[in-house]
Chains A and B, each alone.
Chain A
């Protein structure tokens, strides 16, 4: 079953959905907090994260999906999404799933661009953390550049408009109001330079290893962090950056199943 609720500081409502077994006592001593990617990727992949959380929750591990402030059902306008705000949201969501799940620790999962705010938040911790990065985008400058290119494609190259051209307003990106401060903050993040607490464990689930992932893994291992990678089925790799697919939902069902099996320890990493 899943239970929706609002949580967070007064005047800063966050939407959460806790996926858990019907029985009162969870089978696990840890919970899972799932972090959605930003902007359109968050809308496209929502059901995939829901499904993963639902499967993990049914297995006895309380799993929380939530909306960043300024996104989804949470309070605030689009342009209020900010990096400091996301770090605060993560702290509150983490505390909320611990409390509601009645468990002693939390593991984190971030999809795509959610990896950057998650890693930035966990860098501030002292105790080791456990993270799953699903198809992570680890280079903030490249991420922002890819968003701007996709925005340009949507306006001029995706066939969105018939016999007419349009310009977007200032502070608008991929259909959302986006604050320059957010873009600047993200562009300044390079996950390879983020230092997680020694003893932390990072698992990466990716469709393909690349230079940025290798560099991230090397740097983290040098800092005493364990990093493992699982390759997902290349045949269902989502076409994240294809302009004509921009409005479509993304549901790589085999990847969801693979991740759920590993998150619930049915299959080793």
Chain B
């Protein structure tokens, strides 16, 4: 299922999923130390709670509150919809301690600890993982191997440049002598780009991981922004790089080239939060079979 919702469409979304800021009496929050020195906050609905819980993963080295506190707003909005949410710091980030064990299975181990905490606290049984940038990478990796994962929200997540990407990327720049010169200079002494800090599997493996998740009926929401312009510049690129599974009904895609990577402006964050709320409602809401 591929959806492209513009701002007007989102403004007309169902009232339940149309919450700019959650009413303060719609949720409660509790703070937790858990796992091996991890710290997080559980936001839970005051009323009936879905059996689906949400984990918000660190965006790079940014604390669990998210860029511009976005994770706090998102947690409270989803809790007002009936979803319990845990935002937490992975080891070595934000409020959590340095990793105490070997790094090998750190991602799975810490996500497992977070799932167990939310299950124990609220009684959820399955999970949606949500992350921006490296958080999306973590969600993709864990979602592919953990049967408890029912969904993933990947903000500027995994995708690979394709021939079509390079044509769209390079053609307009070929007419700009300054850009061509800067590109040639950068090839002589390349500086690290955002892509160098990402944790993507080999493309063939990523295709297999997506196919595996779709086969398990895991629901996925991909959102790409203008902040991903260096590797993603067209909606068709998702399927072109990740295979036919990206066309299946489990996969939703939004491409917002006019927005930035961290949603600096509040009006852009409002659109994102409404989109996520609407997607959660359609995929995991009470009316969803």
Contact = CB atoms under 8 A, between A and B. Distances in A.
A164 B258 contact: yes
25 contacts: A2-B33, A2-B39, A2-B97, A3-B33, A4-B32, A6-B29, A6-B30, A6-B31, A13-B29, A17-B39, A65-B95, A71-B69, A73-B29, A73-B64, A75-B24, A78-B69, A161-B258, A164-B258, A169-B265, A169-B266, A175-B68, A175-B265, A177-B266, A247-B262, A249-B60
Interface of A: 1-6, 13, 15, 17, 40, 43, 46-47, 50, 54, 65, 71-73, 75, 77-78, 154, 160-162, 164, 166, 168-169, 172, 175-177, 247, 249
Contacts of B264: 154, 160, 175
B266 A47 contact: no
Q: Is the interface of B mostly helix, strand, loop or mixed?
A: loop
Contact of A168 (B29, B41, B97, B265): B265
Given A154-B264, A168-B265, A4 B95 contact: yes
B226 interface: yes
B93 interface: yes
B95 A50 contact: yes
B63 interface: yes
A160 B63 contact: no
Contact of A73 (B24, B31, B267): B31
Given A4-B39, A46-B63, A176 B69 contact: yes
A164 to B, nearest CB: 5
Interface string B30-52: 11110001010100000000000
B260 A160 contact: yes
A4 B260 contact: no
Contacts of A13: 29
Interface in B242-262: 257-258, 260-262
B21 A77 contact: yes
B68 A176 contact: yes
B134 interface: no
Contacts of A40: 68
A164 B72 CA distance: 28
Interface-centre pick from B258, B260, B261 (highest chain A CB count, 10 A): B260
A47 B41 CA distance: 17
A73 B257 contact: no
B265 A172 contact: yes
Nearest to A177: B266
Interface string B1-34: 0000000000000000000010010000111110
Contacts of B69: 71-72, 78, 176
A160 B258 CA distance: 10
Contacts of A4: 31-33, 39, 95
B176 to A, nearest CB: 12
Contacts of A2: 33, 37, 39, 95, 97
Contact of B94 (A50, A54, A71, A177): A50
Interface string B207-235: 00000000000000000001001000000
B63 A43 contact: yes
B62 interface: yes
A113 B147 CA distance: 46
A156 to B, nearest CB: 12
Given A71-B69, A169-B267, A249-B61, 7 more contacts: A2-B33, A2-B39, A3-B33, A5-B31, A77-B21, A160-B260, A166-B265
B65 interface: yes
A28 B265 CA distance: 45
B173 to A, nearest CB: 12
A17 B95 contact: yes
Contacts of B21: 77
Nearest to A13: B29
Contact of B260 (A3, A65, A161): A161
Given A15-B31, A50-B95, A162-B229, A43 B67 contact: yes
B94 A47 contact: yes
Contacts of A176: 68-69
Contact of B65 (A72, A154, A172, A247): A72
A-B pairs, top 10 by smallest CB distance, nearest first, are A175-B68, A162-B226, A4-B31, A160-B260, A249-B61, A164-B258, A4-B39, A175-B264, A46-B63, A162-B229
A165 to B, nearest CB: 10
A75 B39 CA distance: 17
A72 B63 contact: yes
